[in-house]
Structure 1
Amino acid sequence: MNPLKGLIMAISLITLLNIILNKNSKSLKKEIKLQHYIFGYLFILYLMIALEEVGFPSLFEWRRTLRFSQTVFSPNINSIPFKDGLEISGILNIIFFIPFGFLLPTLWEKYRNLWTTLFHGLFFSIIIETGQLFVKYRATDIDDLILNTLGAICGWLIFNIMKKIFHKLSSKTVVNISSNDTLAIKLEPYLYIVIAIVCAFFK
């Protein structure tokens, strides 16, 4: 298992995506500024670190598990919210998802709406918690789902405070996706998550 390999794969794919986006934006006469690409690399770096830290399943781990005739499906589910109270790990979950809620509105205009960011924070958290059904010694926890989403909301709030201070920068990092855009531009936010998941799995 090599996290660096996964990160290199992810950065390479994001670079390819950026080349496509740059060509598409020129054909549409729609400017995507350098700052957007720079913060995009920060976003993929965050996603890869997040998936590594939470113990997202990988092909390497699955092969090792199957070699010992064990099952890759290892559910350990807590469906009762805060049955043990709020522990320090819960606070860390909130902190851990703040960059997610901060970087989405930094990069894309549509995430400057709170509910859109909240929904995608919940969606990414569901992906992580579902993945942990296939990782030994990891728990799929409703508490994590709630606190991760809360962390995304906190990140969104921090972004809105910082936007007032760094207004010029926030206008340069953002892309406003419209119905006239190419498929690559429309799907860019989702491609980041797909690329991170694929590279985390095949690292």
Structure 2
Amino acid sequence: WVFSFYIILVLMLTTFRNTYFPWQLDFNFSRPLSDINLVFMKETWKLVYAPSHLDFFYNSFGNVLCFVPFGIFFPIVFSKRATFLRTVLMGMLFSVGIETLQFLLVTGVSDIDDVFFNTCGAILGYVIFKIVKKA
């Protein structure tokens, strides 16, 4: 149940920010694909040189921390099948799903950097899971 609550919370914070009911969803299928940032670290480097470094830390470390619970909970819930590779792959697919929904619902910026940082968070969570499990 905790894992389900976490998934719903992440989706509400990242994708369904202004939506309370499914009929309020407004898909924008005519949005140009050029709105997706597929250049790795392009926007992140812009934030490094921005006047305020707070945006850089929020974007990079916030995305990592947001997916640490995924890396911890996924192997607990799917204990028989959750290898390191499956956990990382599912974390990455969940992140790609969020970015796709953000693009279609126009609720955020779709960025390859977010997928990278989210996947790093899933990896970190899995490492924490393994360390705690061995202790």
Name the TM-score, length of structure 2 as normaliser.
0.77
Provide Cα deviations, 1:83-115, integer angstroms capped at 9, x if missing partner.
13262211100000000110011122221x211
What's the counterpart of residue 163 of structure 1? 133
Query: How many percent identity over aligned positions?
Result: 33
Q: Please give the secondary structure, in 2, of the residue aligned with 1:79.
A: coil
Counterpart among 49, 52, 67 of residue 9 in structure 2:
49
Counterpart among 39, 59, 63 of residue 80 in structure 1:
39
The letter for the 1-side match of 2:4 is I
d(CA) in 2 for partners of 1:134, 1:116: 26
d(CA) in 2 for partners of 1:59, 1:129: 20
Distance apart, 1:137 and its partner CA: 4.8
Provide Cα deviations, 1:42-81, integer angstroms capped at 9, x if missing partner.
001000000001124753132xxxxxxxx72345311111
In structure 1, list runs of 5 or more residues that go unmatched. Answer: 1-40, 63-70, 166-203
Distance apart, 1:118 and its partner CA: 0.8
Q: Please give the secondary structure, in 2, of the residue aligned with 1:147.
A: helix
What's the counterpart of residue 154 of structure 1? 124
Counterpart among 14, 25, 32 of residue 61 in structure 1:
25
Distance apart, 1:132 and its partner CA: 1.0
Aligned CA RMSD, in angstroms, stands at 1.8
Q: Please give the secondary structure, in 2, of the residue aligned with 1:78.
A: coil
d(CA) in 2 for partners of 1:155, 1:148: 11
d(CA) in 2 for partners of 1:115, 1:136: 31
In structure 2, list runs of 5 or more residues that go unmatched. Answer: 49-55
How many residue pairs end up in the alignment?
116
Does residue 104 of the first structure (1) align with residue 74 of the second (2)? yes
Structure 1 residue ranges, 4+ long, deviating more than 6 angstroms after superposition: none
CA contact 2:15–2:107 (8 Å) conserved in 1: no
d(CA) in 2 for partners of 1:137, 1:116: 28
State the structure with more CA Rg: 1
Name the TM-score, length of structure 1 as normaliser.
0.53
The 1:137–1:46 alpha-carbon spacing in structure 2 relative to 1, beyond 3 Å, is: closer
d(CA) in 1 for partners of 2:75, 2:110: 28
Counterpart among 80, 93, 97 of residue 123 in structure 1:
93
CA contact 2:102–2:110 (8 Å) conserved in 1: yes
What's the counterpart of residue 31 of structure 1? none
Q: Please give the secondary structure, in 2, of the residue aligned with 1:72.
A: coil
